[in-house]
Amino acid sequence: MKEFVISQSPLPFSRLTAHGSPTKLFVILVRMQVIIISGLSGSGKSIALNVLEDSGYYCVDNLPASLLVVLINHLQMQQHTHIAVAIDMRSGENITVLPWQLKMIDKNIQTRFIFLDARTETLMQRFSETRRRHPMSDANITLEEAIRREREALASLIGIGHHIDTSALRPNALRAFIKDFIAESRNLPQLTLLFQSFGYKHGLPLDADLVFDIRCLPNPFYDPQLKELTGHDPEVIRFMESQPDASKMLRDISSFLNTWLPAYIRDNRAYLTVAIGCTGGQHRSVYFAEKLALHFCDEAHVLVRHRGLTEYNQHYARR
């Protein structure tokens, strides 16, 4: 259901007719959904905003942070129910008031926050390819220095909402992720638990809250019959299930999460990203992420992402 009533009965308003007698009007309030996008320049905010616009959201780009509550209140009066706003360093030091603005939003408005991030070398490559000027650069500093300054200025925003590392994501992969993010907002759970496999040879994901290193386990890559397969394939699954150490580590990780997941829920976390890393992100980590997602899908809303596979793979865990 796209919208739902938060007032069980219409709210009455009165106006005078031409004959002077009052006529009652009724306004039914529907819950507004607001998605706020922030992050580093070059991390994919324009892609995310375009996806939201194509999905029917009223989109505003480059809004000064101090105007967020004013904008939301205005658009609510105009009966807009799905809004997306991009706020970043283009508005200058005004960005420092964003956390305060978020706290001032009406509690009846469903508000979600996305912070897009990427490694410095990736951002430098993207700016080099597009030949665009970084918003914080000038004649006296290099591109790398401008990125560092922006990262420092936005550091306080990273933990507010969902942190996404786009370093290894192609545009279509980011579009797919934003579409799934929109789908989740239709029936928002208390906590979204994201299991993410990755390969250490590609670097640690910036958006991970917890990281488990499973490179010590036997590697199917060195079996010629398994080398070209992934952790989704039955042959690799059988290989992993035959390894006592793999089963023990899987139990230990599950036990750790069983113990501490309630604490994250009590902390009012909207997202918890658990990264599982092997060497290439193709076999062991994929297998572990799928197994853990299946185990916890009754405890929270669970997503699975595999960063090391050729084709970006994300889905909802189901029993």
- Residues whose CB is less than 8 angstroms from the CB of residue 226 and which lie 6 or more positions away in sequence, other chains included: 220, 233, 235, 236, 239, 283
**Class of residue 105 by CB neighbours under 10 A (exposed 0-12, middle 13-18, buried 19+):** middle
| Residue 80 pLDDT | 92
| Residue 169 pLDDT | 86
Above 50 in pLDDT, residue 14? no
Q: How sure is the predictor about 190, in pLDDT bands with cuts at 50, 70 and 90?
A: low
298-308 mean pLDDT: 86
Q: How sure is the predictor about 16, in pLDDT bands with cuts at 50, 70 and 90?
A: very low
The more confident residue out of 159 and 6 is 159
C-alpha dihedral over 46, 47, 51, 54, to 10 degrees?
A: 60
| Residue 180 pLDDT | 80
Above 50 in pLDDT, residue 183? yes
Look at residues 195, 215, 193, 214 and name the one whose alpha carbon lies nearest to residue 205: 195
Average of per-residue pLDDT values in the chain: 84
| Residue 185 pLDDT | 62
| Residue 181 pLDDT | 82
Q: Tell me how far apart the alpha carbons of residues 242 and 220 are, in angstroms, rounded to a whole number.
A: 11
| Residue 192 pLDDT | 85
CB-based contact 90:43 (threshold 8 Å)? no
pTM of model > 0.85: no
CA torsion through residues 4, 101, 40, 271, sign: negative
Q: How sure is the predictor about 177, in pLDDT bands with cuts at 50, 70 and 90?
A: confident
Pairing of strands 271-278, 162-165: unpaired
Above 80 in pLDDT, residue 42? yes
How many Cα atoms sit within 13 Å of 116 on the Cβ side? Answer: 29
| Residue 170 pLDDT | 87
Above 50 in pLDDT, residue 287? yes
pLDDT, tens digit (0-9, with 9 covering 90-100), for 88-101: 988 777 888 999 99
Q: Kindly give the residue spans of alpha helices, DSSP state H, lying in 55-135.
A: 68-77, 98-104, 120-130
Above 90 in pLDDT, residue 115? yes
Q: How sure is the predictor about 252, in pLDDT bands with cuts at 50, 70 and 90?
A: very high
CB-based contact 44:32 (threshold 8 Å)? no
Per-residue CA distances from 42 to 6, 49, 51, 140 (Å): 38, 13, 16, 21
Q: Of 3-7, 123-127, 194-198, 260-264, which gets the smallest average pLDDT?
A: 3-7
3-state secondary structure of 189: coil
248-271 mean pLDDT: 89
